[in-house]
Structure 1
Amino acid sequence: MRQIKTDRLIIRPIQTQDHDDLQKILLDPEVVRYTRYRNIQTPDNYDLIFRNHFLDTPYTFGIETKEDHKFIGFYEFHPENDTGILTYALSQNTWGKGYVAEVGTAMMTYGFEVLGFNRIEAHYASLNPRSGRVMKKMGMHDLGSISSSVSPHTDKVREVMAYELTKENWFLNNSKEQAV
């Protein structure tokens, strides 16, 4: 089983015992408001996705704190050719603590070295600019708007913004850490 450790966190494969903790995160409408998981909405839908998507994959990881081993969220890559499109979500009580950038930095190395991506991309809703700031902290470069739609939550137009990082730029600008 592959684990990656950062100063405060353990990034590891999601396990069956994470079911209930991940369900609380993914059924929280504020957490998933701007993610691809916003339409899960019921425990039955969640159970199907948990079994078929979150278990036994090299692309999806649970995040737990080192201090108390509490499951606080997930980070994943959606592979498309040689690109990994990342998604992440954390429980609300952990927002604003720098965890996503901490995990992201370690996962960039994993995505490039272990999964063999040549490019990592992330998308976020313009209505959630904090995600864009996190992507910038992870060393990603702003690609601007890639699409727009009306938000079902606010009836405001939201832009889908994108950031990317190439393998070449990652290794030029960062010291390599071994993914273990």
Structure 2
Amino acid sequence: MTQFETERLILRPMTAADHDALADMIFDPQVVAYLRYRRVQSPAAFEQLFTTHFLADTTTVFGIERRRDHQLIGFYEFHGSGATGELTYALSPAAWGHGYVAEAGNCLMHYGFETLNYETIEAHYASANPNSGRVMAKMGMQAAGELHTFTSDKGEVIHVMRYLLTKATWRQLSA
């Protein structure tokens, strides 16, 4: 089992015990507003996702657990496509603003580059959520422009921004 620890976090594969905490996140419109998981609308759809993705994938999907109370507060995952890993992350609202995603991301960048052997790691964020872009910058990622736009359920035009980090740049930053 691949597991990592930082000063405040344990990054580990999801377990059956994470079911309820993860369901709370996936069904919270604030958490998934700009994620692919916003389309998960029913308990049956969540069960399918939980079983076939979150539990089944133990090498690219990690629960973010606080060390002090062993609570699952989020998840972090890589979606690989050749030499590029796209990362997705989410936290429960009570965990926002504490630097957890950057802390987890800085740890998992090493794993993505050295173990998963990505040459580039990229992440996307919605312009309506600039805090996510700031987190990406804290992980050493660099702005790479607009990827595309879409219209939200509320009629708002959302610009999807792209950040990336190459293995070479990561190695320079880590030296």
TM norm structure 2 = 0.97
Corresponding residue SS for 1:38: helix
Aligned-partner residue type, residue 168 of structure 2: E
Which residue is 2:170 aligned to? 170
- Cα pair 1:13 1:62 within 8 Å, conserved: yes
Structure 1 vs Structure 2 CA RMSD: 0.8
Corresponding residue SS for 2:162: strand
CA distance in 1 between partners of 2:38 and 2:77 (Å): 16
Which residue is 1:178 aligned to? none
More helix by share: 2
User: 5+ unaligned residues in a row in structure 1: which ranges?
Assistant: 176-180
Which residue is 1:46 aligned to? 46
- Cα pair 1:124 1:131 within 8 Å, conserved: yes
User: Which whole-Å deviations, capped at 9, do the CAs of 1:70-90 have from their partners, x for residues lacking one?
Assistant: 111100000011111000111
CA distance in 1 between partners of 2:4 and 2:79 (Å): 19
CA distance in 2 between partners of 1:65 and 1:123 (Å): 25
The answer to whether residue 63 in structure 2 is matched with residue 62 in structure 1 is: yes
In the alignment of these two chains, the number of paired residues is 174
CA distance in 2 between partners of 1:169 and 1:71 (Å): 31
User: Which whole-Å deviations, capped at 9, do the CAs of 1:107-141 have from their partners, x for residues lacking one?
Assistant: 10110011111110000111111100000010001
- What is the correspondence of 1:1-80 to structure 2 with a 5 Å cutoff? 1-57=1-57, 58-80=59-81
Corresponding residue SS for 1:147: strand
User: 5+ unaligned residues in a row in structure 2: which ranges?
Assistant: none
Corresponding residue SS for 1:158: strand
TM norm structure 1 = 0.94
CA distance in 1 between partners of 2:129 and 2:42 (Å): 24
CA distance in 2 between partners of 1:68 and 1:87 (Å): 24
For residue 150 of structure 1, report the CA deviation from its aligned partner.
1.4
- Cα pair 1:13 1:56 within 8 Å, conserved: no
For residue 56 of structure 1, report the CA deviation from its aligned partner.
2.8
- Cα pair 1:31 1:92 within 8 Å, conserved: yes
Kindly, what percent of the aligned residue pairs are identical?
51
- Cα pair 1:122 1:162 within 8 Å, conserved: yes
User: Which whole-Å deviations, capped at 9, do the CAs of 1:38-61 have from their partners, x for residues lacking one?
Assistant: 110221110000111111321100
CA distance in 1 between partners of 2:54 and 2:150 (Å): 28
